[in-house]
Chain A
Amino acid sequence: DAGITQSPRHKVTETGTPVTLRCHQTENHRYMYWYRQDPGHGLRLIHYSYGVKDTDKGEVSDGYSVSRSKTEDFLLTLESATSSQTSVYFCAISGVPGGELFFGEGSRLTVL
């Protein structure tokens, strides 16, 4: 299995609080992605990174920010969580753009 660790795996928080999800990889892959998964929507891309300090927006980036200061870590931050951000968040990595993705086990976030 690809070395991808997401933390926390489960989190319950209240509306308006900041939340940071962490994705850590040991594969030295250049490309890292954050997706959210909601019933009926499949996976939707939030942000992605193509190198240290190089990030770009996906299709549902509003309300989210990311940072990548090291190859191995990709952080997703919800500055002020809303109930619509209740979801399961998946981190994925890839060695080549558009290539096979390796996924983490997901982080389930509930915003009350």
Chain B
Amino acid sequence: SQQGEEDPQALSIQEGENATMNCSYKTSINNLQWYRQNSGRGLVHLILIRSNEREKHSGRLRVTLDTSKKSSSLLITASRAADTASYFCATAQDDSWGKLQFGAGTQVVVTP
């Protein structure tokens, strides 16, 4: 079974708008990561947030983590057409932290 589940499954926005997607997970984690996948390509790591962190920024990306709710959110500010991709959260669980478990992803389309 999947550890992480993203919401929404799909998101369509215009350039300049912000995109927010959420990830919920089931068990205690060591860290949570976000990845991007362009069509037909491999996944690319975006950001990692540890279980003792609440917020992290990287360029136009902002990630929050609420371990009490077992949830995380990824915010992309001022979206660009190049941000069109699928976004996945992945969790490294406390009891098997060598293995990352991925959610089904959020497909984001940014139109000019």
Contacts and interface: CB of A to CB of B under 8 A. Distances in A.
Nearest to B105: A42
A100 B48 contact: yes
B102 interface: yes
A62 to B, nearest CB: 15
B42 A42 contact: no
Contacts of A101: 33, 35, 43, 45, 90, 100
Interface of B: 1-2, 4, 30-31, 33, 35, 40-45, 48, 88, 90, 92, 97-105
B103 to A, nearest CB: 5
A44 interface: yes
Contacts, number: 63
A74 interface: no
Nearest to A58: B99
Interface string A26-62: 0000010101000011111100101000000011000
Interface of A: 31, 33, 35, 40-45, 48, 50, 58-59, 90, 92, 97-106
B102 A35 contact: yes
B38 to A, nearest CB: 11
A53 B108 CA distance: 40
